[in-house]
Amino acid sequence: MSEKVWFITGASRGFGRIWAEDALKRGDKVVATARKLADIAPLADEFGDAVLPLVLDVTSRDQVAEVVATAHAHFGRLDIVVNNAGYALIGAIEEASDAEVRAEFDTNVFGPLSVIQAALPLLRAQGCGHVIGVSSVQGVAAGPITGLYNASKWAFEALHESLSKEVAQFGIKVTLLEPNAYATDFSSQSSLKLTTGIDAYAETRAQVFAGGASTKFGDPAATSASLFKVVDSEEPPLRFFLGTEGLPVARAAYAERLAVWESWEDASNAAQGQPGI
């Protein structure tokens, strides 16, 4: 089957919009979802019946279930389910309010979980399907001032890794996309929220923002071809970096972790105690 049916959250802009358009251009069908219908309705003007625009707030579990069912009924199947909707909460751990943290996890973790749980019975019945989770290089290594966003993506990563081990038996594939910084509007106010600052972290915050100002952004239009290679593969990877930043970050992070674990190996082993005691 060459033609695929995509279900994409957060399709109004950024990666979601680019992937929806490029999937349609290559002859696939797309269920494009976003919070506002006006943001995705133009896709139908351009691509006609090949696209189904639907309003979806991923934080509404009931709406997720309804929209996933509608999408499946409309096209008769779902081949690729892309959890792309999300945003970054920026601020020190101490600075974030309970409401801000819960909102971050509602969108970045519980929303995608609702989509997965709504889609899985349909994918199992099909005996196939591919769940794509849009994570981040920051789901591999955490840094200051982005800790709550990191935490949401680390949870997101664990969710998909466990999922991959549970659903392979049903012919369902799982891939985590881990992009570095791209020239999308992810740094706009709609995708990035700032906590109220505490003076004690002002210097750290300034250093992080200064570092971000020198970031070399990737071209988001260049990501579609790589994504299509992943979804068209018979054996897609569980994790896939988008861009050049991820692998060097992972190498450094895991080298440091291994070095620390190994330096404390004797103390770790001593904590095992004596067998049978």
The DSSP bridge partners found for residue 54 are 33
- Range 101-125 average pLDDT: 98
Using the predicted structure, report yes or no on whether residue 189 has a pLDDT greater than 70: no
pLDDT attached to residue 190: 56
CATH of domain 5-269: 3.40.50.720
The answer to whether 163 and 131 have CB atoms below 8 angstroms apart is yes
Using the predicted structure, report yes or no on whether residue 108 has a pLDDT greater than 70: yes
Residue of higher predicted confidence among 190 and 234: 234
Instruction: Kindly state the helix (H) or strand (E) to which residue 172 belongs, with its residue range.
Output: strand 172-179
Alpha helices in 222-264 (DSSP H): 223-232, 246-263
Whether 135 is a known active-site residue: answer: yes
- Range 99-104 average pLDDT: 97
- Range 40-69 average pLDDT: 97
Whether 153 is a known active-site residue: answer: yes
Q: Which of 114, 135, 152, 164 is catalytic?
A: 135
- Range 59-75 average pLDDT: 98
pLDDT in tens, 134-152: 999 999 999 999 999 999 9
pLDDT attached to residue 217: 86
In terms of pTM, does the model score above 0.85? Answer: yes
Q: Which of 4, 87, 152, 153 is catalytic?
A: 153
SS (H, E, C) 209-227: HHHHHCCCCECHHHHHHHH
Using the predicted structure, report yes or no on whether residue 187 has a pLDDT greater than 60: no
pLDDT attached to residue 212: 76
Whether 165 is a known active-site residue: answer: no
Binned at pLDDT 50, 70 and 90, residue 183 comes out as confident
Q: How far apart are CA 33 and CA 235, in angstroms?
A: 27
* Both structure tokens of 83: 């959890």
The answer to whether 129 and 123 have CB atoms below 8 angstroms apart is yes
* Both structure tokens of 107: 């969108």
pLDDT attached to residue 206: 93
CA 113 from chain center: how many Å? 11
Backbone angles phi, psi at 171, to 5 degrees: 80, 15
For the chain, the domains span 5-269
| Nearest residue to 130 (alpha-carbon basis) of 231, 24, 225 | 231
Tell me what the pLDDT averaged over the chain comes to.
94
Q: Which of 12, 87, 136, 149 is catalytic?
A: 149
- Range 217-232 average pLDDT: 95
CA distances from 24 to 19, 183, 238 (A): 8, 22, 24
pLDDT in tens, 5-44: 999 999 999 999 999 999 999 999 999 999 999 999 999 9
Q: What is the CA radius of gyration of the chain?
A: 20
Give the least confident one: 180-184, 230-234, 248-252: 180-184
